[in-house]
A and B are shown apart, each in its own frame.
Chain A
Amino acid sequence: MISGGLDSLLAARVMLDQGIHVEGINFFTGFCVEGHTHAIRKKDQKKPKRNNALWSAEQLGIKLHIVDIIEEYKDIVFNPKYGYGANLNPCLDCKIFMVKKAREWMEAHDFDFIITGEVVGQRPKSQRKETMPVVQRDSGIDDLLLRPLCAKNLPETLPEREGWVDREKLYGFSGRSRKPQMALAKEFGFEDYAQPAGGCCFLTDESYSIKLQDLWKARGSKQYEMDDIMLLKVGRHIRPEPGYKLIISREEGEGKFLQGYKKQYSSLRTTSHPGPLALIDGDVMDDQIELAARIVARYSQGKMADEVELEFMDKDGSTRELKVTPLPPDELPKEWIV
């Protein structure tokens, strides 16, 4: 299983060095941090973009299969058997689900076992000594899951017992320190690998989780579509009333991205002054449109003007002009900001 991070890169390389044929599998849940916001925000477009899982596979000289699990993953997000972490991250259920999907792929494509870059004690929820057997049991992979970086701290797996893999050449890493992995990366000559960060999933992010909870509350149930979870990554989200919220672009790149949603959402944009594009998620009446327009005007270059002109566009493409006074900052309650 190739995440694009350092650990799975190293684990795969350790296996390749033992002459094992390895192919990578990578799962896309919709919440993966990889790429998305970099592709949206203009200021980030100067940074080199790459998919780290693809980069890892190329460094290793192996094939990579990227699997879309967006729909199936919803049940993990809605009903995690082992609960959430600090935010809406269902890390243990996620790991179990991905190993289960990898097992199904392994069986369908006639592979013998699965390797991961897991390290005992590396993560507080999904990579503890107590939870590792849970992943094996609940995913159904049992002892066909080999963790080359910490195998010496764990019971022998079938590939080791059968002699497919030399246990003596595996590692006994444990704990949160990254130094052993960095030293091994240096030994293998890996440079420019993805830096260890706080997480590779938006569900570990507090601000993102708050927006997702707000979405569920507004809709009266836990549900989302791909567009919803994409839009939670973009813009300012302001909910003046339970029935609707505004998604206001913060810069040109976000504005362009939101343009693509104008047939699905009604929208507001300033016409008398440079300013943002805002989508309206929910149904709005005339008086609500005026308040929404005042909020959007407050984020335009006309925020100090007596009057700002805007265009309201409905989902059917019909438009009308509005003239409003920008909402003063002290009249925008903090609790509206999601």
Chain B
Amino acid sequence: MSRQQLDCRRLLCPMPVIRVQDKVAELQPGDELEAIFTDPGVLQDIPAWCRINGHLVLDQQRKEDEYRVLLRVGEA
């Protein structure tokens, strides 16, 4: 299992979702991805994307104008 980082700051919807989607495609089930964003829409979009694609949001935090989401890759 590995944990990867992804910087999606300054990207606006739906680019953060596309970047996460493409990164997750490179990972294995059980791997974790910690991504950082500035578009507040990700707090809805990333969990929604995870739910429909079988991944799990482990944690999400806001720090000033940045948002961090930690997810675990599910089975393909």
B53 at the interface (CB under 8 A from A): yes
User: Which partner residue on chain A sits nearest B51 by CB separation?
Assistant: A58
Contact in complex: A51, B13 (CB < 8 Å): yes
Is A39 a contact of B41 with CB atoms below 8 Å?
Answer: yes
* Assembled-state Cα–Cα distance A57/B51 (Å): 10
Closest to B9 in A: A260
Q: How large, as a class, is the contact surface on chain A?
A: 20 to 34
Known: A45-B40, A49-B40, A256-B65. A54 touches B12 (CB 8 A): no
Interface string of B4-33 (1 = CB under 8 A from A): 000000101111011001000000000000
A53 close to chain B: CB less than 8 A: yes
**Is B58 in the interface zone, CB < 8 Å from A?**
no
What chain A residues lie within 8 Å of B39 (beta carbons)? 35, 39
Could you tell me which residues of chain A, from 24 to 83, have a CB within 8 Å of some CB in chain B? 26, 28, 32, 34-36, 38-40, 45, 48-51, 53-55, 57-58, 61-68
Instruction: Name B41's closest neighbour in chain A (CB-CB).
Output: A49
Indicate if A183 sits at the interface (CB-CB under 8 A): no
- B48-76 interface bits toward A, Cβ cutoff 8 Å, 1 = contact, 0 = none: 11011100000000000100000000000
Identify whether the interface residues of A are mostly helix, strand, loop, or mixed.
Answer: mixed
Contact B49 A34 (CB under 8 A): no
Collect the chain B residues with CB atoms within 8 Å of residue A66's CB. Answer: 14, 17-18, 21
Interface pairs A-B: 9 shortest CB-CB: A35-B13, A49-B41, A54-B48, A39-B39, A51-B45, A50-B44, A57-B52, A36-B12, A260-B10
B interface residues, Cβ below 8 angstroms from A: 10, 12-15, 17-18, 21, 39-41, 44-45, 48-49, 51-53, 65
Interfacial residues, chain A to chain B (CB-CB below 8 A): 26, 28, 32, 34-36, 38-40, 45, 48-51, 53-55, 57-58, 61-68, 230, 256, 260
